[in-house]
Structure 1
Amino acid sequence: MHTDSFYIGVDIGGTTVKLAVVTPEGTIKDKWEIPTDLKNKGERIVHDIKQTIFEKIDRLEIPKTSVIGVGVGAPGFLDSISGFVYEAINLGWIDYSLGSDLEEMTGWPVFVENDANLAALGENWKGSGENSNDLLAVTLGTGVGGGVVANGELLNGANGTAGEIGHITVVPDGGAPCNCGKTGCLETVASATGIVRVAKEKLVDNQASSLNASVPLTAKDIFDAAAENDPVSEEVITYVTNVLGMSIANMANVLNPSKIVIGGGVSKAGDSLLIPLRKAFDKYALKRVREAATFEVAVLGNDAGVLGGAYMVKKRLENK
């Protein structure tokens, strides 16, 4: 492959679409983002993506023939073989043929994957995963996403839903409603929004907590207050990390990963998240599973998805 070949990685989020031009070795030549146009059920999103890629390669003086393919991550439930999106609530898409639409518009091969899976691929290729054959990636952001690499391959499952750790039921009765339509999912407890919800419930009976001064309350406020020994915040973090540690341990008991990579905005809490989380994980995981697994914080940040997109193009085309 010539040094002048490139992959395009695209990571579609509810607020912005992140894009990058990536070399076959995994170096980002250029990266940028555009706002996600959610009007009319996201009908302009793919057109905007095509437009911005064409403008960018033009500016970089990259001929269209040097682009080998496009790897796209989208939030929601989709078929990674056909590139068909069944449902992406945050974008307004239902039954949308994302892959073939973008392929038609650009003339390049397009490969589509769930955004959390792509982040796992990117992190494994160029980040904390260090090309591990068996990896569990957990993204703690507005929701809770998961991606699984088993025997060196991304695990998709029968209809593309493998790795959805955010929808493990952790509160079987009386749990909070989740965006997926169920109640009591891990996402309602361990996402940034879930952590805030749990704290607000506890604050009803704890007017003295320093958290009452934080308006609007964020997950970061709760970690910061816990570091200052605020009892309500400490209680919230103990509860959240216990539930999350148990869920990750249950997944790990099935998958036996060598690396567990924690990413997303909440992972910025660093050791104040990781230390209690590892303690809870060790309590619930099998001894041999515990011994095999190291915990890492994701290092690629917003680049994980676009690098995962590029890596997916590389792998899919190699396997053809």
Structure 2
Amino acid sequence: MAKDWIAGVDLGGTTTKIAFITMDGEIIEKWEIPTDNSNEGKNITINIANSISKKLIELGREKDQLAGVGMGAPGPVNYETGVILNAVNLGWQSNFPLQASLEESTSLPSMIENDANCAALGEMWKGAGNGARDIVCVTLGTGVGGGVIANGNIVQGINGAAGEIGHITSIPVGGAPCNCGKSGCLETVASATGIVRLANEALGKHGARGELFEKNKDNGRISAKDVFDCARNGDLLAIQVLDEVAFHLGFTLANIANTLNPEKIVLGGGVSKAGEILLSAVRNQFERFAFSSVRDSTELALATLGNDAGVIGASWLIKNNLGN
């Protein structure tokens, strides 16, 4: 039987996305399972393997049809060894041999990469990257992740930690603490949680009024989406928060582009669903700080694959390295 399908896995702290994907990058079937991080994460790869087997039976297919399993995992990954260096939210100890564990559980060739890198590969292959071989992908979600692709290959770095765009320092003095242990990281101002923090700080200042103020008063809490919705409606406080986020993001992306001169910078993750109001504001700041030759050649775009980017990029690992 031709090995013409790939299992793509996007491992998250609470949910794991799995898909069967063709060698051309088309999704045949996709589903989710809970991530069981109890018992030091020992059930994670077993549950994935069992779910893949169960789905194959449902579809009347054999495991022989799968060329392998590609996985994106949260945290720095040693691409050569398939060891995840640090993923405490999954229950694993440092330097967990994830690739070996996945291969043992599934009896299939497996490859592991950082989840943001997989999202970048997915967007390069089938999404906003549209085949561009030099691309930077930034995922704006609960945190901020990044993946850098140069000449079609993920930039790994010596320890698998390249592309940690969310931990570039944006506020060198007096910045908010970040989960990484530093303070003032881009993640503290450009993630969903960072945007909410900035909005709450702005609301806490005396004299704050307007739509965002009323939303907060009615609900007792606001979301990043509320900030963008209110900014669209002309709320001055929300626009102030948007401008601050766009400044830090545009400034950081311009410096990344000045270093790498990618063909495209793709913004993904839940925050990117704000769409043009975010992209336009970030682009204005990007153009302000980018070197002229970079500004004229690097395009900023919104990701198009949504939650599918990770599984598609994970399957690319297999296609590019093990596929027929």
Q: TM-score, normalised by structure 1?
A: 0.96
Q: 1:254 aligns with which of 250, 253, 259?
A: 259
Alignment of 1:296-307 (within 5 A): 296-307=301-312
The answer on 1:34 being equivalent to 2:33 is: yes
Match of residue 211 from structure 2? 210
Alignment of 1:1-320 (within 5 A): 2=2, 5-95=4-94, 96-205=96-205, 206-212=207-213, 213-214=215-216, 215-317=220-322
- Measured after TM superposition, the shift of residue 42 of structure 1 is 2.8
- Measured after TM superposition, the shift of residue 43 of structure 1 is 2.8
Name the aligned partner's letter for residue 151 of structure 2. N
Unpaired runs of at least 5, structure 2: none
- SS at 2:101's partner residue? helix
Structure 1 outlier segments of 4+, above 4 Å: none
- Measured after TM superposition, the shift of residue 208 of structure 1 is 1.9
- SS at 1:10's partner residue? strand
Tell me, in whole angstroms, the C-alpha distance in 2 between the residues paired with 1:28 and 1:39.
30
Report if aligned partners of 1:122, 1:304 keep a CA contact under 8 Å in 2. Answer: yes
- Measured after TM superposition, the shift of residue 77 of structure 1 is 1.6
Report if aligned partners of 1:85, 1:94 keep a CA contact under 8 Å in 2. Answer: no
Tell me, in whole angstroms, the C-alpha distance in 1 between the residues paired with 2:106 and 2:36.
19
- SS at 1:94's partner residue? coil
- Measured after TM superposition, the shift of residue 318 of structure 1 is 5.6
Tell me, in whole angstroms, the C-alpha distance in 2 between the residues paired with 1:297 and 1:235.
22
Report if aligned partners of 2:67, 2:323 keep a CA contact under 8 Å in 1. Answer: no
Tell me, in whole angstroms, the C-alpha distance in 2 between the residues paired with 1:301 and 1:179.
25
Name the aligned partner's letter for residue 121 of structure 1. L
- Measured after TM superposition, the shift of residue 92 of structure 1 is 2.8
Quick one: percent identity of the two aligned structures?
Answer: 51
Tell me, in whole angstroms, the C-alpha distance in 1 between the residues paired with 2:240 and 2:91.
37
Tell me, in whole angstroms, the C-alpha distance in 2 between the residues paired with 1:10 and 1:238.
36
Tell me, in whole angstroms, the C-alpha distance in 2 between the residues paired with 1:129 and 1:198.
31
- Measured after TM superposition, the shift of residue 207 of structure 1 is 3.7
Report if aligned partners of 1:248, 1:281 keep a CA contact under 8 Å in 2. Answer: yes
Name the aligned partner's letter for residue 229 of structure 1. G
Tell me, in whole angstroms, the C-alpha distance in 1 between the residues paired with 2:256 and 2:89.
26
Name the aligned partner's letter for residue 200 of structure 1. N
Tell me, in whole angstroms, the C-alpha distance in 2 between the residues paired with 1:309 and 1:208.
46
Tell me, in whole angstroms, the C-alpha distance in 2 between the residues paired with 1:151 and 1:183.
33
Report if aligned partners of 1:99, 1:110 keep a CA contact under 8 Å in 2. Answer: yes
Tell me, in whole angstroms, the C-alpha distance in 1 between the residues paired with 2:128 and 2:233.
30
Tell me, in whole angstroms, the C-alpha distance in 2 between the residues paired with 1:203 and 1:313.
48
Tell me, in whole angstroms, the C-alpha distance in 2 between the residues paired with 1:135 and 1:208.
41
- Measured after TM superposition, the shift of residue 105 of structure 1 is 1.4
Name the aligned partner's letter for residue 16 of structure 2. V
Unpaired runs of at least 5, structure 1: none
Matched residue count: 318
Name the aligned partner's letter for residue 33 of structure 1. E
Compare 211-220 and 54-63 and name the one that shifted more: 211-220
Compare 310-319 and 22-31 and name the one that shifted more: 310-319
Name the aligned partner's letter for residue 216 of structure 1. R
Tell me, in whole angstroms, the C-alpha distance in 2 between the residues paired with 1:175 and 1:209.
27
Deviations 1:107-137 (A, max 9, x none): 1111000000000001110111011111011
- Measured after TM superposition, the shift of residue 299 of structure 1 is 0.6
Q: TM-score, normalised by structure 2?
A: 0.95
Name the aligned partner's letter for residue 11 of structure 2. I
- Measured after TM superposition, the shift of residue 156 of structure 1 is 0.7
